[in-house]
């Protein structure tokens, strides 16, 4: 069901503001991305997800779209983006744009029309109550901002009015059904935007807040799923190779609604966050004592347990493996970078795990060199997220090679520490995080058994033993602790091993009965 090309795909997420400035104005741009395609390819990534690059007042870093069909002038032109599609395709790289279907900017022309007293084509493009003093029955709303007598519903920040996909359960006179012509018109408008970019060479979309389009939905998200199934039908007919990944974090629902992939995010609810950023689970402020309750699995000797992750992951995986893919991330533009609480050795093991599981993994720019989460003031609605959005660190030149512009013009400051990691510094060190990522991804592309579809079976998940899992016919062994660990191997597995080690971090050895893994080690064995 998922697009075939995803089987051997690893994504690279680019926050366009901060990746590469090609014209010296201090802000990253589309042509900067095009210049760096060889770097991305060399890393082993063969697809991009670019955060919103459309015209916007940037009150939420571009997730407040003012014109869905126009590249923001600060990033370049539509032609630059079409050129990026072409150049990427020549190198075998696919490009997903970020689709923001749940809301627009408050400056979007649709919203400006919708605010008017006179009835027009856009009056019901957003969700309005029917009186200036009437609230929205539990949904966030704004009143007193329009001549129209009504309050409008918000989808996220105040600058982001919710587009109207209707309500699954209608309980108020001002609510429209999700099958109402006005709700269908919003769907059609989003399909029109998708067609626009797809017909110019875009390969699909990462979809923002994909689960919350239809309001008052049921637990199974029947209303919102109906929207995505409709979109999927359009794609199947008109753009059969296009792929969509949901920001939903519920693969059983998202993949059934027609998505190819869904992110495993659940920052606040156990699961994925227990691997690398468990401190989020404890409601702890990022400026507080983060290690106080950090039991991240990959943090050496922090008392982590892989089963906290597997309990949820495996039930999702079993339920969805014939439907599409789960996507694990190193981090993203909304989360704290892994280097915040993990050392380089810990990150190597975390990435080894992420890049050897099924599904389609995502690497956030800069995580391949362990860029730091910086303590910087909020920018464009980033708040705590801003620290993970600073300029890419390319080399030792001015502005760490991000921009030839003036330091004072930079979108955000570059890491000023003398130890700031750079691509250049890590190139020549075979043991660097960068080269470890390259080796891991190279292996993934060479071995079909490590790609999206191949079987996964956990052999040993005991806390006092190495983690052992099989991908197809390959055996993966991982020990994130500070002590040497060993475990016996079931006879059928031991008997089928050739013993060839495809990749090793630290020391792992097998005889035909057991596997021994040194402190902080990983290996893939044929
Ligand atoms: C999720 C995006 O990842 C985040 O950056 C944004 O602020 C919200 N959705 C609102 O669009």
Q: What is the pLDDT of residues 444-465, one digit of tens each?
A: 999 999 999 999 999 999 999 9
Task: Count the domains in the chain.
Answer: 3
Closest CA to ligand 1's atom 2: 208
Within this chain, do residues 83 and 33 fall inside the same structural domain, yes or no? Answer: yes
Quick check: CB of 334 below 6 Å from ligand 1?
yes
Classify residue 228: in a domain, yes or no. Answer: no
Q: What is the 3-state secondary structure (H, E, C) of 91-136?
A: CCCEEEEEECCCECCCCCHHHHHHCCCCCCCCCCCECECCCCCCCC
> How far is CA 25 from its chain centroid?
27
Question: Residues 392, 12: contact at Cβ < 8 Å?
Answer: no
Choosing from 208, 212, 263, 364 the residue with most ligand 1 atoms within 8 A of its CB, the one to mutate for a pocket test is 208
Nearest Cα to Cα of residue 30 among 70, 74, 63, 90: 74
**Is residue 449 classed as helix, strand or coil in its secondary structure?**
helix
* Domain final position from 446, 470, 502: 446
Task: Report pLDDT digits (tens) over 133-147.
Answer: 999 999 999 999 999
The finding on whether 208 has its CB within 6 A of some atom of ligand 1 is yes
Q: Tell me the CA–centroid distance for residue 154 and ligand 1, in Å.
A: 13
Query: Going by DSSP bridges, is the β-strand pair 325-327/362-364 parallel, antiparallel, or unpaired?
Result: unpaired
Say yes or no: 303 and 437 in one domain: yes
Q: Nearest to residue 296, comparing CAs of 349, 231, 352, 341? A: 341
Residues 95 and 141 reside in one and the same domain: no
- Backbone φ and ψ for 384, nearest 5 degrees, come out as -60, -20
Q: Is 78 helix (H, G, I), strand (E, B) or coil?
A: helix
How many other CB atoms sit within 10 Å of the CB of residue 195? 14
pLDDT one-digit tens code per residue, 53-71: 999 999 999 999 999 999 9
The pLDDT confidence band at residue 511, using thresholds 50, 70 and 90, is confident
- Which ligand 1 atom sits closest to the C-alpha of 156? 10
277 shares its domain with 326: yes
Mark whether 154 and 302 lie in a shared domain.
no
Q: Which of 241, 156, 174, 253 is nearest to 203 (CA)?
A: 241
Residues 406 and 276 in one domain: yes
Give dist(CA 273, CA 269) in Å, integer. Answer: 8
Q: Quick one: pLDDT band at residue 267, thresholds 50, 70, 90?
A: low
Please state the three-class secondary structure of 214-249 as a single string: CECCCCCCHHHHHHHHHHHHHHHHHCCCCEEEECCC
Q: Which of 101, 156, 333 maximizes ligand 1 atoms within 8 Å of its Cβ, making it the mutation to test the pocket?
A: 156
Residue 139: helix, strand or coil by DSSP?
coil
Dihedral of CA atoms 164, 168, 173, 176 in degrees, nearest 10, equals 40
If pLDDT is split at 50, 70 and 90, which confidence band does 289 have? low
Same domain for 368 and 517, yes or no, is no
CATH number for the domain harbouring residue 154: 3.90.400.10
At 284 the pLDDT is 46
For residue 263, the cross-strand partners are 327
Q: Is residue 342 within 8 Å of residue 296, measured between CB atoms? A: yes
Question: What's the 350 CA to ligand 1 centre distance in angstroms?
Answer: 25
Residue 238 located in a structural domain: no
How far is 468 from 476, CA to CA, in rounded Å?
6
Q: What does DSSP assign to residue 167? A: B
Question: What pLDDT does residue 509 have?
Answer: 94
Q: Which residue lies with its CA nearest to atom 1 of ligand 1?
A: 208
Q: Average pLDDT for residues 174-201, to the nearest whole number?
A: 98
Q: To test the ligand 1 pocket, which listed residue (14, 53, 60) has its Cβ within 8 A of the most ligand atoms?
A: 60
What SS3 state is found at 142? strand
Identify the weakest region by mean pLDDT among 62-66, 169-173, 281-285.
281-285
347 and 321 both lie in a single domain: yes
Residue 340 domain boundaries: 4-100+264-446
Structural domain contains residue 137? yes
Look at residue 434 and tell me whether its pLDDT is greater than 70: yes
453 DSSP assignment:
T
Q: For ligand 1, atom 11, name the residue with the nearest CA.
A: 63
Cα–Cα dist 360/369, whole Å: 20
Q: How many angstroms separate the CA atoms of 67 and 434, rounded?
A: 37
Query: Are 19 and 81 within one domain?
Result: yes
- Closest residue by Cα to atom 4, ligand 1, is 334
294 lines ligand 1 (CB under 6 A): no
Confidence of residue 124 (pLDDT cuts 50, 70, 90): very high
Q: Is 156 in the pocket of ligand 1 (CB under 6 A)?
A: yes
Atom 6 in ligand 1: which residue has the minimum CA distance?
A: 63
Is 209's C-beta closer than 6 angstroms to any atom of ligand 1?
Answer: yes
pLDDT tens across 340-357, in order?
Answer: 999 999 999 999 999 999
Query: 208 C-alpha vs ligand 1 centroid, how far in Å?
Result: 6
- What is the pLDDT at residue 270? 61
Does residue 292 share a domain with residue 425? Answer: yes
291 pLDDT exceeds 80? no
Residue 439 placed within a domain: yes
Could you count the other beta carbons within 10 Å of the beta carbon of residue 23?
14
| Contact (CB, 8 A) for 216 and 169 | yes
pLDDT-wise least confident of 85-94, 259-268, 367-376, 403-412: 259-268
- Tallying the residues shown for the chain, one arrives at 526
Regarding whether 513 and 396 lie in a shared domain, the answer is no
CATH number, residue 388: 3.20.20.80
Question: Cα(259)–Cα(487) distance, rounded to whole angstroms?
Answer: 39
């Amino acid at each position: 069901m998922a697009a075939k090309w995803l089987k051997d795909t690893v994504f690279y997420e680019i926050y366009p503001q901060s990746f590469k400035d090609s014209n010296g104005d201090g802000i990253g741009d589309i042509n900067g991305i095009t210049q760096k395609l060889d770097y991305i390819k060399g890393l082993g990534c063969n697809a991009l997800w670019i955060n919103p690059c459309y015209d916007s007042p940037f009150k939420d870093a571009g997730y407040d779209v003012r014109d869905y069909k126009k590249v923001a002038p600060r990033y370049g032109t539509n032609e630059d983006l079409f050129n990026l599609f072409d150049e990427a395709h020549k190198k075998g790289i696919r490009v997903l744009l970020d689709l923001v279907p749940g809301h627009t900017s408050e400056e979007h022309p649709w919203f400006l029309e919708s605010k008017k007293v006179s009835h027009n084509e856009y009056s019901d493009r957003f969700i309005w109550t029917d009186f200036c003093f009437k609230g929205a029955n539990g949904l966030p709303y704004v009143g007193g901002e329009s001549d129209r007598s009504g309050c409008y519903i918000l989808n996220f920040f105040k600058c982001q009015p919710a587009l109207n996909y209707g309500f699954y359960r209608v309980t108020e006179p001002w609510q429209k059904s999700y099958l109402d012509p006005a709700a269908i018109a919003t769907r059609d408008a989003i399909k029109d935007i998708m067609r626009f970019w797809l017909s110019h060479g875009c390969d699909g979309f990462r979809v923002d807040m994909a689960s919350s389009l239809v309001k008052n939905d049921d637990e199974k998200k029947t209303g919102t799923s109906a929207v995505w199934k409709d979109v999927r039908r359009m794609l199947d007919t008109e753009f059969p190779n296009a792929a969509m990944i949901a920001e939903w974090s519920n693969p059983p629902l998202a993949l059934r609604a027609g998505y190819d992939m869904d992110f495993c995010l659940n920052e606040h609810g156990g699961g994925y966050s227990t691997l690398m950023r468990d401190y989020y689970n404890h409601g702890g402020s990022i400026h507080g004592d983060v290690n106080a309750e950090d039991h991240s699995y990959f943090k050496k000797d922090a008392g982590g347990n892989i089963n906290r992750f597997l309990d949820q992951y495996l039930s999702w995986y079993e339920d969805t493996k014939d439907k599409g893919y789960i996507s694990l991330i190193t981090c993203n533009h909304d989360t704290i970078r892994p280097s915040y609480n993990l050392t380089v050795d810990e990150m190597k093991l975390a990435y080894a795990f992420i890049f050897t599981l099924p599904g389609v993994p995502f690497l956030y720019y800069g995580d391949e060199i362990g860029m730091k989460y910086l303590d910087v003031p909020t920018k464009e609605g980033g708040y705590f997220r801003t620290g993970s959005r600073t300029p890419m660190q390319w080399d030792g030149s001015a502005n760490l090679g991000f921009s030839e512009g003036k330091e004072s013009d930079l979108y955000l400051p570059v890491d000023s520490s003398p130890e700031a990691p750079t691509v250049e510094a890590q190139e020549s060190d075979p043991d660097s995080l960068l080269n470890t990522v390259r080796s891991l991804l190279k292996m993934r592309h060479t071995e079909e058994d490590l790609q999206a579809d191949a079987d996964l079976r956990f052999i040993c998940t005991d806390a006092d033993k190495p983690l052992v899992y099989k991908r197809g016919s390959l055996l993966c062994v991982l020990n994130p602790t500070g002590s040497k660990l060993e475990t016996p191997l079931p006879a059928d597995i031991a008997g089928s091993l050739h013993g060839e080690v495809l990749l090793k971090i630290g020391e792992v050895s097998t005889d035909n009965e057991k596997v021994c893994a040194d402190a902080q080690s990983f290996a893939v064995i044929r």
